[in-house]
Amino acid sequence: MASVRLVEVGPRDGLQNTKSVISTATKIELIRRLRSCGLKTIEATSFVSPKWVPQLADGAQVMSGIGDLIDSSDESYPVLVPNLKGLEAALKAGAREVAVFVSASEGFSRRNNNASVDEALKRAGEVARRVKGTNVKLRGYISSVIACPFDGPTHPNQVLKVTQTLLDMGCYEISLGDTTGVGTPAQVKRLLETILASVPASQIAGHFHDTYGQALANVLIAYQMGIRVFDCSIAGLGGCPYAPGAKGNLATEDVAYMFEKMGVQTGVKLDMVAEVGSWISGELNIPSASRAGPALLATRNRTARDTTGKIPAGVPTLKWSVVKDHETYLVERAGSNMRITLARPRNGNALTLAMLSSLTQLIQAAAGDKEIRCIIITAKGKYFCTGMDISPSGATSASDRQAKEDQFHGLRNLFDAIDNAPQTIVAMITGPCLGGGVGLAMACDVRIAIETATFTLSETKLGLVPAVISKYLIREWGIPRSREAMLTARPVGCQELLDAGVIHGVAPDAASLITLMEDKIFRIQQCAPGASAQAKDLVRVGWKLPGSTKQDATISDIYYHMTQPSQEAQYGLASFRAGNRNVDWSKMTRTTTKL
């Protein structure tokens, strides 16, 4: 059966350009998860100057974290090295395969390698001589093979010249990179006709970026011309920091999907790779650039739910049972999780006084219930919540003082109950939020949303003021954004809030939002309940009284309680020392309850 080899470059090429700081543990976990999908070649990190690529300054730690994998005979974890210094660091860290990189064009070489093409080749030659005769494999990357953002089109003969030089040095394979993603199948064909006239296809790999949506088409033409190795990046992460306009690698999910549907083996488990793409996008708080990944997950969830009502294996399954089905809200439980669904969709889930009071009571009762660990607040219908009920019969129209007081206290009590509850409370935002609906979402600890959701502080348009909600709104959005959004009443988009760190995950559709919710719950459940509650205390005191003696006292109280050590710390550390990296806190809660 026909097959191709996919070289996963996400942990290096994908992450190197990511703005938010990614922990070493996440990088290691990403590599391990990718491996579990069946990927056999995973570019792990780079050993370039941390000044150039600070995101990958922890290359040695990443290599140490995958030390048990590096020696596998049928797997490879190459690392990128620019010169001898990088090579020495990579070898010290245990690398068994290294990759050198050279540009086919002068302009790009000067920016990416800080050297001319000849100088970069000379450095690559030094690396090649150093590894010759050792068991360390050498791969070569050539960038700007179709066009250079600084010099214009690249002539195929120039690419051939650099390819041959790298092969002569001892590279076993040359990855041809359309770094800016401008190439089309016609250009790739022209390039490969030149290259393959002199070099066997088995020594060439394709590395196509998707800036103009041409990556898959370019892979296909290259495949038809005999190329069998393709670089790709999970969730389409990455791009090149020195190539203006370049974004998005070819997503692993997309290329794996295409080949699988063509009957060409990749060894990659599609469902699993789609999950990893969704997971890492959630970790980085960015939407996946893959088309196939989210579609696969949505289809899988939809199909499974429609037919069996269950979530397929691999995703933590939660079976919700109804506890209370009230006219305006629904309460469900799944183990130690509680879900509250606003159920007044005909009125956009506008909050009546009675609803405010019931929701507050529910949260307060849950706060005292050690069996409840995580609370989800979500909604039925088109809107998540349109704020305070402003219908003629609603509270905002009441003129007497008592009604106003009730409304004020009702809103404030609900938001404060959410903030003060020891449980982690997740807002699962299924649609637009307006006015007090924004406040409700902002009082929660974690927020995930459907990507079309918007957040509108519409009060000023009605001659009202976002008074009560301003407490949590300003805490979460900061002053400049809150002020502008209050004064313009514009719908603030999900992406903007995701970029600002206010939203902690977005999903393209309802089914994916449920998967995202399950992922968040899974993580929350892996954290100790008491420690999580105290983390909320630290945030609260750090927000309300920053720099005060009360903040210092709270920090020291919590610290000494933890190091005494607390029962949780004893249990957590004992589990860790016994080799268990995922502590089962529900077990401990049960033991504690029994005691």
Ligand X SMILES: CC(C)(COP(=O)([O-])OP(=O)([O-])OC[C@H]1O[C@@H](n2cnc3c(N)ncnc32)[C@H](O)[C@@H]1OP(=O)([O-])[O-])[C@@H](O)C(=O)NCCC(=O)NCCSC(=O)C[C@@](C)(O)CC(=O)[O-]
Residues that bind ligand X (CB under 6 A): 347-348, 350, 383, 386-391, 394, 411, 434-436, 439, 458-459, 462, 464, 466-469
**CB of 497 vs ligand X, minimal distance in Å:** 18
Residue 163 CA to residue 141 CA, distance in Å, equals: 9
Residue 277 vs 348, nearer CB to ligand X: 348
Residue 390 Cβ vs ligand X, minimum distance, rounded to whole Å: 4
| Backbone phi and psi for residue 47, each to the nearest 5 degrees, phi listed first | -120, 55
Can you tell me which residue has the tokens 């016994």? 578
User: In DSSP terms, which residues pair with 205 in a beta bridge?
Assistant: 175
- Which is nearer to ligand X, 422 or 437 (by Cβ)? 437
Task: Compute, in degrees rounded to 10, the torsion defined by CA atoms 122, 126, 127, 132.
Answer: 130
Of 240, 433, 444, 494, which one is the catalytic site residue? 240
The pairing of beta strand 491-493 with beta strand 454-456: antiparallel
* Nearer CB in complex with ligand X: 2/467: 467
CA neighbor of 168 nearest in space, from 203, 220, 194, 208? 203
DSSP string, 542-590: HHHSTTSHHHHHHHHHHHHHHHTT-HHHHHHHHHHHTT-SS--HHHHHH
Q: Which residues contact residue 505 at a Cβ distance below 8 angstroms, ignoring those fewer than 6 apart?
A: 282, 285, 448, 449, 498, 516, 519, 520
Closest C-alpha among 132, 145, 110 to residue 231: 145
**Dist. CA 277–CA 256, nearest whole Å:** 12
Residue 240 designated active-site: yes
DSSP notation for 35-75: HHTT--EE--EE-S-TTT-GGGTTHHHHHHHTHHHHT-TT-
Q: In angstroms, rounded to a whole number, what is the distance separating the alpha carbons of residues 296 and 276? A: 12
Q: How far is the CB of 545 from ligand X (least distance, A)?
A: 23
Look-up: residue for tokens 């049972």? 321
**In the block, which residue shows the tokens 């296909």?**
220
DSSP class of 79: E
Closest CB to ligand X among residues 138, 433: 433
Give Rg (Cα) of the chain: 27
Residue 463 beta carbon to ligand X: minimum distance, rounded to whole angstroms: 10
Least Å distance between CB 437 and ligand X? 7
For ligand X, the closer CB: 393 or 563 = 393
Q: How far is the CB of 38 from ligand X (least distance, A)?
A: 47
Q: For the purposes of burial, counting CB atoms within 10 Å of the CB of 229, is it exposed (0-12), middle (13-18) or buried (19 or more)?
A: buried
With respect to ligand X, which residue has the nearer C-beta, 278 or 386? Answer: 386
Q: Which is nearer to ligand X, 411 or 503 (CB)?
A: 411
User: For residues 280 and 440, which CB has a smaller minimum distance to ligand X in the complex?
Assistant: 440
Q: At what angle do helices 117-131 and 156-169 cross, to 10 degrees?
A: 20
C-beta of 405: minimal distance to ligand X in Å?
13
- Examine residue 200 and say whether the peptide bond preceding it is cis (omega within 30 degrees of 0): no
Kindly state the tokens that stand for 260. Answer: 């699988």
Instruction: Look up residue 104 and give its amino acid.
Output: A
Q: Is the dihedral of CA 312, 231, 198, 144 positive or negative?
A: positive
Residue 283 CB partners (closer than 8 Å, separation 6+): 22, 26, 30
Q: Is the CB of 53 or the CB of 434 nearer to ligand X?
A: 434
Amino acid at site 192: L
CB of 177 to ligand X, least distance (A): 48
Decide whether 465 or 553 has the Cβ nearer to ligand X.
Answer: 465
**Active-site positions?**
240
